[in-house]
Structure 1
Amino acid sequence: MTTQKKNALFELFASVQLALFLLFLLASTSIVGTIVPQNNPFAFYVERYGFKTARFFQLLDIPDMYTSWWFLGLLSLFALNLIVCSIERIPQAIRQFRRDVLAVSPEQLEKFPLRSELHLAGEMPAVTGQVAALLKRNGWRAKEGAADTGRIYGAEKGKWSRFGLYVVHCSILVILTGALLGSSAVAHKVFGDPLFAFKGSVMLPEGEQTDHVYAHKGNERLDLGFSLHCDDFSIAYYDNGMPKTYRSKVTVLEHGTPVQTTEIEVNKPLTYKGVTFYQSSYQPYQDYQATLKKKDGSAETTVRIPVAQQIDWPEGGVSYGIINRERQGEVTRQLKIWFTDGQGEPSVFWVHVDQEAAIERPSGTYLLTIRQRYATGLQATKDPGVDLVYGGCLLMLVGLYIAFFLSHRRIYVLVQPEEKGCRLLFAGDANKNRVGFEKYFLQLISKLDNEIK
């Protein structure tokens, strides 16, 4: 009874129908994961879909579907299905691979669907020699054996191509393994280490640094083991105020010591100690960074300056502040500045953001540059399985090439003596692309016929 159940279960997981059904389920659920926005707070789904639907999504982990227990379960079932299918069918491919090419009888050759017969006037030694030479010239390493009263030649190519399908199976398993290793759910539930694999983000203001990010799921704090300092953030806008390009200049610090400085742009991430930082967003602040210096170079200062607040610079003997601003959305275009050195009436003027303004005062000439402050939004990902995924994709290309473009081809020539010469029976088969092989097969016979004549 137990054996029957085991066999039935084995047959279920070895079936192609189950593989197709699981593929259909994976494709269907992946569509759901594409339609429903992922990794947003619960309030987002309540506002968008209503409380009951949001609660249902939460129960099934729809907001983080690709790491949910049931999606990972489907992937595991699909992997098990591939393994069992391969275990059941690989022995047959191995037997075909190990089979002696001459393990075929003349009677079997007569039944090959692809065969042709020639009657030649030559003697047996001469004809067999020509047959062997022809096969060799065309790249066929033929084996020779005795067959009844005559001789048989057998040659084959691409017998290892029968394993192309199993190379594809293996590549899928490698990709799934890489995907599981890169899953934050597996890192938590299997390895018990949230730092093994994660997806998180951080909003890092200019001039500040962080040694942690926050996980997308659960907003858990994840310590990086190093610090990231935002040295500078630059952004360019279109005329309508929409962002054109933006980039962050960051420095990696180990125990307070800089070890690497680079710029992060969209499609140009930074990877350090297995953690990859992507430029994903930004946040403009409503305060500014002002750089003020004397034109003669004798003094300079850089300070953070909010709106409607007086800033005193004792070393330069001046005071200044922002009294108005012109904005387009969240972007500040120009600022109205109040400036005095205590001599005469204060200067009031407009200055464009990121452009230097020269201020003539009785005490001298001052150069002022004001820029809007930003925080760079970085997405941080640690995926130890990414190399496996890339390797699996490469392996899949190799497997698909073998499975679709290569075939196991066999050619046989049976030479038998006759009253006035020899009878040649050509037989061949291919497990794929039989039409193309038939054309080649007929051309090979034509060559032999022309050479002997």
Structure 2
Amino acid sequence: MVSISRRAWRQLTSMRTALVLLFLLAVAAIPGSVLPQRNVSPEKVRQYLQDNTEWGPTLDRFFFFDVYASPWFSAIYLLLFTSLVGCLVPRFRSHLVAMLRKPPAAPARFSRLPASAEDLPAAPAADVVAALRRRRFRTVVRTPSDGVTEISAEKGYLKETGNLVFHFALLSLLIGVAYGSWFGWHGNRLLIQGQDFAFCNTLLNYDEHALGAQVGEGDLPRFCLRMDKFAATYLDNGQPVTYKADITATQHGRSSTHVLQVNDPLRLDGANVSLLGHGYAPVLRYTDKYGKTHENVSAFLPKDGMLTSDGVATFPDVNLNPSTGTRDEKSQIGFSGVYLPTLPSDPSVSSSAFPAEKDPRLMLQPYRGVLGFDAGAPLSVYTLDQRQIDAKRLSKFGEPFMLKPGEKGTLPDGTTVEFVRTEQWISISIRHDPGQPIVLVGASALLVGLLGSLTGKRRRVFFRITPTGMSAGGLPRGDYPGFAEEFAAIVAAVTPAAPVPSQMAQTDVKEVV
């Protein structure tokens, strides 16, 4: 059992296994880039599931919309972390020992080395050492016998150092991401324009949220946000150019205004606020059969690039008899609608011609019955309860109609609904990630380590000085095509008074293990 465990550990901590796990981690992250993720855009996940009813739920069952919180992604992540630690610690120890150890003694015959020079004029050992140190070689002088001086020098530990820095930086990236996952948090919120829809940072106010394992609700920073104005510009083909939202943020008893844009987050104390998307919220005013008016503002979700949006507006508290104070629960009213910011030239096309509000229209289908709010089951604010419709407790009430802003529509019972106006809304992501500084340092160190690993060339040179002359040999410790030229330059530098002998070997440099 011990031997099996030892072999399994060696296999796990091998560099080959680490590379395989790194490749698997990259492959496992692909769905997180291709498919919408709940922690970034829950409305897109909801729309994706509605558009792909056959295999969308299967993907959801296997966490393809929560890739980075899935068990299989976490398993690969932890295995890679363990593999890197088990691989790098012995390598670091060996590299540290190699750097502190003196260069090895010179071999007996330099002619067997990839580069060598014989019968050179003798030079003082101090001059040879000085020339090598000017080239940043680590040197050691030995005197194995009378009259003979051997000089060993080596250089190029930057390659292995860079290699280790690269892999430790990769390890720090994993640590930073894990630290941010444990002590960070994030939430998404759809924020409608206006004072009535101001948002304060509590869990109940989020549409979607996730807390790290070590974060509680009391750890969230206290601030409030209000959107005062939103402006967008588009190209002629409808492609957005700019999204700008004027935000009032209140924190620590002080209010300040900011301009929130895409890729330009608002940085608060303890959280960053990012702009993700934009849409419209129609304002409807319903007048019931007793003459009482009720106003509703409901965000409609875009379903294409031209911001053709659909949603619902519900009025559960209408038709209250003022004389008896009772209400017929089966007289609740709901509207399923499609909003077109710009009416197309062909009325049969049920999609907007442009994302800005040039000629807006709101198509509504009235429903009457029991909306299902009192059933105790969770309901979506973007669709009517299909269970109530299937059970015929909620049914269509009249024909659909289309309204301009300011127009009214009349229902079969004489009640009316008015399309008052639209409000703008934005979807924001609020996030705190304490692992970001670690990831930033790790990413910078990763680039530095990669540069050192690619440019460093480890090599050794030896000189043997006797009373009658001097010989030299060179040994690259890896693939280094330019070593022969460097070796010739070193020999020429230590023997300036004499040309380099013709006997100098100019053989191709090969790796010697």
Give TM-score scaled by structure 1 length. 0.70
Give me the whole-angstrom Cα distance separating, in 2, the residues matched to 1:78 and 1:371.
Answer: 54
Alignment pair present for 1:409 and 2:459: yes
Partners of 2:106 and 2:152 within 8 A in 1: no
Alignment pair present for 1:197 and 2:196: no
Give me the whole-angstrom Cα distance separating, in 2, the residues matched to 1:382 and 1:331.
Answer: 33
Alignment pair present for 1:264 and 2:260: yes
Aligned to 1:63, the other structure's residue is in SS state: coil
Q: 1:244 aligns with which of 235, 241, 256?
A: 241
Matches within 5 A, 1:17-416: 17-39=16-38, 40=42, 44-51=47-54, 53-101=55-103, 103-107=104-108, 111-120=112-121, 127-128=124-125, 130-136=127-133, 138-140=135-137, 142-149=139-146, 150-159=148-157, 161-183=159-181, 186=182, 196-207=184-195, 208-212=197-201, 214=206, 216=208, 225-239=222-236, 243-254=240-251, 257-287=253-283, 327-328=342-343, 329=352, 331-333=356-358, 373-416=423-466
Q: Which residue of 2 aligns with 1:313?
A: none
Give the deviation of 1:415 after TM superposition: 0.8
Give me the whole-angstrom Cα distance separating, in 2, the residues matched to 1:10 and 1:129.
Answer: 49
Give me the whole-angstrom Cα distance separating, in 1, the residues matched to 2:221 and 2:478.
Answer: 53
Partners of 1:158 and 1:408 within 8 A in 2: yes
From the superposition, tell whether residues 201 and 108 of structure 1 become closer, same or farther in structure 2 (CA, over 3 Å): farther
Give the deviation of 1:230 after TM superposition: 1.5
Q: Encode CA deviations 1:408-446: one digit per residue, 9 max, x unaligned.
A: 3322211123xxx32x22122333452222211112223
Q: Encode CA deviations 1:131-189: one digit per residue, 9 max, x unaligned.
A: 34543554546432213240012233343542222211111111111222333xx45xx
Q: Which residue of 2 aligns with 1:310?
A: none
Give TM-score scaled by structure 2 length. 0.62
Aligned to 1:451, the other structure's residue is in SS state: coil
Aligned to 1:434, the other structure's residue is in SS state: coil
From the superposition, tell whether residues 215 and 332 of structure 1 become closer, same or farther in structure 2 (CA, over 3 Å): closer
Give me the whole-angstrom Cα distance separating, in 1, the residues matched to 2:233 and 2:239.
Answer: 9
Partners of 1:274 and 1:384 within 8 A in 2: no
Give me the whole-angstrom Cα distance separating, in 1, the residues matched to 2:359 and 2:20.
Answer: 61
Letter in 1 for 2:83: N
Give the deviation of 1:118 after TM superposition: 2.6
User: Percent of aligned positions with the same letter in both sequences?
Assistant: 23
The unaligned stretches of length 5 or more in structure 1 are: 188-195, 289-303, 307-324, 336-352, 354-369
From the superposition, tell whether residues 20 and 240 of structure 1 become closer, same or farther in structure 2 (CA, over 3 Å): closer
Partners of 2:165 and 2:445 within 8 A in 1: yes
Aligned to 2:36, the other structure's residue is in SS state: coil
Q: Encode CA deviations 1:270-309: one digit per residue, 9 max, x unaligned.
A: 0112311112222223459xxxxxxxxxxxxxxx999xxx
From the superposition, tell whether residues 258 and 16 of structure 1 become closer, same or farther in structure 2 (CA, over 3 Å): same
Partners of 1:236 and 1:244 within 8 A in 2: yes
How many residue pairs match? The answer is: 365
Partners of 1:206 and 1:376 within 8 A in 2: no
Alignment pair present for 1:16 and 2:15: yes
From the superposition, tell whether residues 74 and 217 of structure 1 become closer, same or farther in structure 2 (CA, over 3 Å): farther
Partners of 1:182 and 1:198 within 8 A in 2: no
Give the deviation of 1:216 after TM superposition: 3.9
Q: Which moved more, 1:377-386 or 1:29-38?
A: 29-38
From the superposition, tell whether residues 106 and 234 of structure 1 become closer, same or farther in structure 2 (CA, over 3 Å): closer
From the superposition, tell whether residues 137 and 403 of structure 1 become closer, same or farther in structure 2 (CA, over 3 Å): closer
Partners of 2:157 and 2:457 within 8 A in 1: yes
Give me the whole-angstrom Cα distance separating, in 2, the residues matched to 1:173 and 1:29.
Answer: 18
More helix by share: 1
Partners of 1:36 and 1:63 within 8 A in 2: yes
Letter in 2 for 1:214: Y
Aligned to 1:413, the other structure's residue is in SS state: strand
From the superposition, tell whether residues 132 and 452 of structure 1 become closer, same or farther in structure 2 (CA, over 3 Å): farther
Partners of 2:457 and 2:480 within 8 A in 1: no
Give me the whole-angstrom Cα distance separating, in 2, the residues matched to 1:326 and 1:449.
Answer: 84
Q: Encode CA deviations 1:51-98: one digit per residue, 9 max, x unaligned.
A: 4x3343233211111221210110110111111111333333223212
Partners of 1:135 and 1:142 within 8 A in 2: yes
Q: CA RMSD in A?
A: 3.5
Give me the whole-angstrom Cα distance separating, in 2, the residues matched to 1:244 and 1:133.
Answer: 63
Partners of 2:221 and 2:270 within 8 A in 1: no
Letter in 2 for 1:443: A
Give the deviation of 1:248 after TM superposition: 0.9
Give the deviation of 1:45 after TM superposition: 4.9
The unaligned stretches of length 5 or more in structure 2 are: 285-294, 298-339, 344-351, 361-404, 406-419, 500-513
Give the deviation of 1:31 after TM superposition: 2.3
Q: Which residue of 2 aligns with 1:366?
A: none
Q: Encode CA deviations 1:89-135: one digit per residue, 9 max, x unaligned.
A: 3333223212212x314427564333222343x6xxx5445534543
Partners of 2:190 and 2:207 within 8 A in 1: no
Give me the whole-angstrom Cα distance separating, in 1, the residues matched to 2:495 and 2:229.
Answer: 80
